[in-house]
Every structure is written in C-alpha cells, then in structure tokens.
Amino acid sequence: MRWEQLFADLEGQQADWARRERAAEAAEHTRAEHGRVVLGDRLAADVGRVLRLGVRGVGVLEARLVDVGPDWMLVHEVSSSSHQERLVATAALLSVEGLSGRVDDRPRRYGLRHAVRALSRDRARVRVFDQGGDHLSGTVDRALADHLDLARHADDEPRRPGAVRGVVAVPYGTIAMVQRL
C-alpha cells in the first residue's frame, strides 16, 4: 500500500511540475508577442476612438482618430467646433491616452510624404508645427523625398504670387503636426 501511495505522490508531483512548466511557457510566449506590438498597430485598431495625445512642440490634443499611416495619424480635434483635420507625425508623439489595447497589424503603405503630397495636390492652406514649438503657415508647393517646400503666406489668403513671402524647405523629421486651415 505504501508503494502505491509513493508512486501516486510522485505522479502528482510530476503532473504539477508539467502544469507549471506549461504555464511558464505560455506566459513567456505572451510576453514575447507583446514585445512585437508597435504603437502604429495599436493606433490602427482604434480608428474612430477619441484619444488624448501629447505632441512634442504642440501640447495636448483631444482628438478622434480618423486614419493611420506608417508614420502619421489623421485626427479631428474634438474640442474645436470646426473639427479641424490635423496630421500628426507619430515621431512627435510623447504620449497617447485612451487606447483600447487591441492590435491591427495590417500593413499601412502611405507615409507622411504621401499625406503631404495630397495636401499639395489640393492646394490646401496649412499650418506646419515643428517639434520645437514653432509654426509656419502657407501652401505646400512640393512634397519631396525627405522634405516639403512651403510657400509662406497669410492664413486667410490663398496662394497667389503677390501673397507669397518666401518658400521654406521643412524636413519631414522636424514636423510635429500639419493642420489644414
């Protein structure tokens, strides 16, 4: 009888050890999966959600997430009555509050340059905020490989040769946000 109890006890210990080993492997696998999640994938899963964004050079924005690219996000500010469109460079993000925790890892093809090219094509008046806290207003003349050319003019004037005060090259890496006026 003692031998049977001893073997049963050993089997129980081995089964308990195997359960703990599987649980440790599952926990390690989960940590490894979490280690592969990037912010853009979390943002993409939360399109339509209102988030609180800390943006270098701009401050805090409370905005509804409209679209996400590989290095940008399009938001509509909720505190503004006009729901202004703002294109935020993800490199300028300091914090994001309000994420659900979901993940959407589908590829996003169109980078900041493509989004700026659309603004250029529309001849939209914009305000470009840099990560240092300054801003320039005007119209994007060209979206080049690593920078844009901004024709500077007053916010309330369309781009006309007489209104342009100069053209400024702005590297994409310095942009915090582009606001359509």
The predicted pLDDT at position 15 comes to: 80
The amino acid at 154: A
What is this structure's pTM?
0.81
Both tokens assigned to 131: 């990560």
The predicted pLDDT at position 19 comes to: 82
More confident call, 11 vs 173 = 173
Tell me how crowded residue 147 is: count the other CB atoms within 10 A of its CB: 18
Dump pLDDT digits (tens) for 89-131. Answer: 999 999 999 999 899 989 998 999 999 999 999 999 999 999 9
Dump pLDDT digits (tens) for 9-53. Answer: 778 888 888 788 877 777 666 565 656 789 999 999 999 999 999
What are the backbone dihedrals phi and psi of residue 62, each rounded to the nearest 5 degrees, phi first? -105, 115
